Amino acid sequence: MNKLWMEKRNIAVLIAPGLLFIIGMVLLPTAVALYLSFTNYDGVDYNLFNLSNYKEIFLHDSIFWDALRNSILLGIAFVVLQHPIAVLMAILTTHAGKWERPLRILIFIPSIISTFVTSQMWVSLLNVQFGLLNRMLTAVGLSSWKQDWLGNPDIAIYSIIFVAMWQGFGYAYLLYYAGIKGIPSELYEAAIVDGANKWRYGRSIILPLLMPVIRINFVLAIVAGFKQMETVFLMTGGGPSNSTQFLGTYLYSRAFRDGLFGYGNAISILFIVFCLVVTLIMNRLLKKDVGEF
């Protein structure tokens, strides 16, 4: 009996710190955000408690829906452009012999550098006056293509999407590379004995066996589109004229630029809800398991 009590106390000791962090730093802030989202708190005080923030968002706030559209657009760009290239590069590098390791290391380098450095670097790269991109366009005789890549509201979002794909490419690549390396090499030998060439092996064996990894990475990519904040924050801060807002930057702009702290908290709550819903939907949609190996 005494022993049993000791164990119960020990379980409590083991879970208490983790639970405290989760409750104090995730659940409590969420509850506070929910509370403040019903107010017109401006950083000092509030005198209303109603649903007006949510009403405003759902009925009148087109920037919020643009931010949501930008998030979805980025997620789709990850899935349609970044990931297929990453899968292809991952499969190809495994055939590069002694170059396999150097290539793998080099491809990942942009992803190991802090986002705040690479984002600021891209601000310079896309600079109108001295940026590398406009320089190169001049160098190849395409001066007329020169653009204010981050200052033009029609193209800024595509510049952001491109930079986000560049930053995350190494990571996407690495996950697929690790997935391919997890496939037992006996399968390769068996396939070659059965007369398959490398192309056939890649398409008929690697790709199907990679499906669980691809599935997880698609979920991660879509969610990453929703969670995007850091790159945009430094590159455009959501501008010009709110054309590159994402949920994260928009809640920041509303709270700290416009002083609408309650409103920002309502966006925070919807931010959480969307992330939860998207993850659940993606998991449901892609829940088709492939055999174990």
Based on CB atoms, which residue is closest to another protein, 106 or 285?
A: 106
Could you tell me which of 42, 3, 45, 69 has the C-alpha nearest to residue 250?
A: 69
Whole-number minimum distance, CB 49 to another protein, in Å?
16
Instruction: Report 274-293 residues binding another protein (CB under 8 A).
Output: 275-276, 279
Q: Which helix (H) or strand (E) holds 29?
A: helix 28-36
178 lies in the binding site for another protein (CB under 8 A)? yes
Give the one residue of 67, 68, 156, 175 binding another protein; rule: CB under 8 A.
175
Helix (H, G, I), strand (E, B) or coil at 9: helix
Token pair 């083991």 is found at 14
Q: DSSP string covering 136-193, please?
A: HHHHTT-GGG---TTT-TTTHHHHHHHHHHHHHHHHHHHHHHHHHHTS-HHHHHHHHH
Contact pattern from residue 103 through residue 132 relative to another protein, giving x for each residue in contact according to CB under 8 A and a dash for the rest: x-xxxxxx-xxxxxxx-xxx-xx---xx-x
214 lies in the binding site for another protein (CB under 8 A)? no
97 lies in the binding site for another protein (CB under 8 A)? yes
Q: Which stretch binds another protein (CB under 8 A): 5-13, 62-70, 74-82, 154-162?
A: 5-13
CA distances from 160 to 14, 121, 123, 165 (A): 43, 13, 10, 9
Contact pattern from residue 239 through residue 268 relative to another protein, giving x for each residue in contact according to CB under 8 A and a dash for the rest: ---------x--xx--xx----x--xx--x
Whole-number minimum distance, CB 245 to another protein, in Å?
13
Whole-number minimum distance, CB 80 to another protein, in Å?
18
Whole-number minimum distance, CB 144 to another protein, in Å?
16
203 lies in the binding site for another protein (CB under 8 A)? no
226 lies in the binding site for another protein (CB under 8 A)? yes
Token couple for 201: 């092996």
Contact pattern from residue 131 through residue 170 relative to another protein, giving x for each residue in contact according to CB under 8 A and a dash for the rest: -x--xx-xx--------------------------x--x-
Helix (H, G, I), strand (E, B) or coil at 53: helix
51 lies in the binding site for another protein (CB under 8 A)? no
Q: DSSP class of residue 255?
A: I
63 alpha-carbon distance from chain centroid: 20
The type of residue at 61 is D
Main-chain dihedrals φ then ψ at residue 222, nearest 5 degrees:
-65, -45
